[in-house]
Amino acid sequence: MPHQDKVLIEGLEVRTVIGIYDWEREIRQTVRLDLEMAWDIRQAAATDSIADTLDYKAVSKRLIAFVEQSSFGLIESLAEACAAIVLEEFHVPWLRLKMSKPGAVRGSENVAVLIERGSR
């Protein structure tokens, strides 16, 4: 059975241009990312060294920089792009990513997409 350790980043909020309506193209809105990333933490636990783990600060900074500069119409597209960055640049074998757009629907607290990519 594969190891089931995970590194989490929860509630990462970034302001970006997101949406399909003309008014949305002219403002910045908040999106929220929640990531669950498969990562075997045993080596890092043994060495107590950042070099042996998934650097969640580096992942967060990379995603913040990307999302701030992006201009997608759909959160689906933004979620796919963020997942690809984490999988390819940080060599994460599997992730679950929730991309939320709070306040996108009047009367709702949140709308979101939840994707899983990679292999367990």
**86 belongs to a structural domain:** yes
**Residue 120 pLDDT class (50, 70, 90 cuts):** confident
**Residue 32 forms part of a structural domain:** yes
Tell whether 30 is covered by a domain. Answer: yes
CATH of the domain at 14: 3.30.1130.10
Mean pLDDT of the chain: 94
pTM: 0.93
> What total number of domains does the chain contain?
1
Burial of 99 (0-12, 13-18, 19+ CB in 10 A): buried
Q: Does any domain span residue 48?
A: yes
User: Is 14 a domain residue?
Assistant: yes
User: Any bridge partners for residue 80, and if so which?
Assistant: none
Residue 25 pLDDT exceeds 70: yes
State yes or no: is 61 an active-site residue.
Answer: no
Residue with tokens 């979620």: 79
Whether pLDDT at 3 is above 80: no
List 57, 61, 98, 101, catalytic entry: 101
pLDDT, position 1: 42
Quick: pLDDT tens for 27-74: 999 999 999 999 999 999 999 999 999 999 999 999 999 999 999 999
Range of the structural domain that residue 11 is part of: 6-118
Q: Is residue 1 part of a domain?
A: no
